[in-house]
């Protein structure tokens, strides 16, 4: 996700992780103070001290990067010299040269939202780096499987949803809007003064779950969504009817991953992993953590050293804490990490060895491009 003005939070504000989690832990707090991309990229940028410069570099057509499943994978990185975002393949070579103030992952329809360095507006590019939807929005999120993307109207400042042509399908009317989940629901923030709470709409823009939460994330594969209770100010999980399945009890909480586990923080801000019943599978012990990847590993922050390593589903370290920061492994087997010596980002394999040496000011996960 991107930020307005610039990513406050992912590829625009790494939260100073503790701050991000305490303010909007549900991985999808949509624009959550950030009127921008998707989160990971926002969070990564905050960790850098540099600000984006205005410059434009010619784009090149991405090479077909083959992986075991025959797919093409790209990652968004912040170039250390130009301080602009571009896209690299698994060899670390640029396939779309750095020229954006912010950028995010490509969606299934082959489009990615970027923050234009000249106009300082958001638009959508294809995998050649060409604009398909010209920069014109004040913020936005990725396209969902239903073909809709939430965007912030540059004039009204309100959020609505567009199709792949850039036309509004749901007119701007919300204070915040998140991506549609597989179940066809998206979290939005009501713009009415008497009830600026979050609820869930369908693709017609009608509320399916009325506004009642202080924050709300996307529904996961298991049918649960992380929300911030308006009364207790604690986080819990609801089902598609809006009823609590796991009662509000966490200071911080993240969405459920594909392996059925979600990272949560208890009252003392120690993090662990719960299952869909709310029971701990891995007891609270980490300063911060993220989802488990398809290879069975999850990045966590060691509570003692404050460095990041990777654990297995038992909670045991497979890659010892040694990085300033770390993100989830992608399907191509690589994970972005921040080197403790240089403070630059590179990519490691599951053994913890660098495959792409540290050289970027920030870096996102690799994502498959159709």
Confirm whether 179 is domain-assigned: no
Confirm whether 246 is domain-assigned: no
What pLDDT, on the 0 to 100 scale, is given for residue 37?
Answer: 39
Distance of CA 118 to the CA centre of its chain: 24
What pLDDT, on the 0 to 100 scale, is given for residue 83?
Answer: 97
User: pLDDT of 182-233, one tens digit each?
Assistant: 999 999 999 988 889 999 999 999 999 999 999 999 999 999 999 999 999 9
Query: Pick the residue with more confidence: 111 or 10?
Result: 111
**Of 179, 27, 201, 44, whose CA–CA distance to 113 is shortest?**
179
Number of H helices, E strands in the chain: 2, 26
Confirm whether 105 is domain-assigned: yes
Report the C-alpha gap between 192 and 212 in whole angstroms: 12
Confirm whether 127 is domain-assigned: yes
- pTM above 0.85? no
Mean of all residue pLDDT scores within the chain: 85
Q: Are 2 and 122 in contact (CB under 8 A)?
A: yes
Confirm whether 292 is domain-assigned: no
Report the C-alpha gap between 285 and 265 in whole angstroms: 9
For residue 129, the enclosing domain spans 1-142+349-370
Distance of CA 362 to the CA centre of its chain: 14
Confirm whether 61 is domain-assigned: yes
User: How many separate domains does the chain show?
Assistant: 1
**CB-based contacts of 78, cutoff 8 Å, min separation 6:** 11, 44, 45, 48, 50, 84, 85, 98, 345, 360, 361, 362, 363
Q: Give the torsion sign (CA, 3, 111, 44, 265).
A: positive
User: pLDDT of 10-37, one tens digit each?
Assistant: 333 333 333 333 333 444 444 433 333 3
């Amino acid at each position: 996700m991107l930020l307005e003005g610039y990513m406050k939070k992912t590829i625009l504000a790494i939260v100073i992780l503790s701050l991000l989690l305490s303010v909007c832990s549900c991985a999808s707090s949509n624009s959550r103070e950030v009127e921008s991309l998707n989160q990971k990229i926002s969070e990564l940028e905050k960790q850098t001290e540099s600000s984006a410069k205005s410059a434009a570099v010619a784009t090149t057509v991405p090479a077909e990067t083959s992986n075991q499943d025959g797919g093409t994978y790209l990652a968004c990185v912040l170039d250390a010299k130009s301080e602009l975002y571009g896209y690299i393949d698994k060899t670390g070579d640029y396939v779309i040269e750095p020229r954006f103030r912010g950028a995010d992952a490509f969606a299934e329809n082959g489009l990615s939202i970027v923050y234009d360095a000249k106009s300082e507006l958001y638009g959508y590019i294809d995998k050649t780096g060409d604009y398909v939807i010209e920069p014109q929005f004040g913020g936005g999120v990725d396209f969902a499987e239903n073909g809709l993307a939430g965007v912030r109207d540059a004039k009204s400042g309100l959020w609505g949803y567009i199709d792949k042509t850039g036309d509004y399908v749901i007119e701007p009317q919300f204070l915040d809007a998140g991506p549609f989940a597989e179940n066809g629901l998206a979290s939005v923030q009501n713009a009415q003064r008497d009830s600026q709470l979050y609820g869930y709409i369908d693709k017609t823009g009608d509320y399916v779950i009325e506004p009642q939460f202080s924050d709300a994330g996307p529904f996961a594969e298991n049918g649960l969504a992380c929300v911030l209770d308006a009364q207790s100010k604690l986080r819990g999980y609801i089902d598609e009817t809006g009823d609590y399945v796991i009662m509000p009890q966490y200071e911080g909480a993240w969405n459920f991953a594909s392996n059925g586990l979600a990272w949560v923080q208890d009252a003392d801000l120690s993090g662990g992993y719960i299952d869909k019943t709310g029971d701990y599978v891995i007891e609270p012990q980490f300063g911060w953590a993220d989802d488990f990847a398809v290879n069975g590993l999850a990045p966590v922050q060691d509570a003692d050293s404050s460095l990041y390593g990777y654990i297995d589903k038992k909670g045991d370290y497979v890659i010892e804490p040694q990085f300033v920061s770390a993100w989830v492994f992608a399907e191509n087997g690589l994970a972005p990490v921040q080197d403790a010596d240089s403070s630059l980002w590179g990519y490691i394999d599951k053994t913890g060895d660098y495959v792409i040496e540290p050289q970027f000011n920030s870096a996102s996960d690799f994502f498959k491009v159709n």
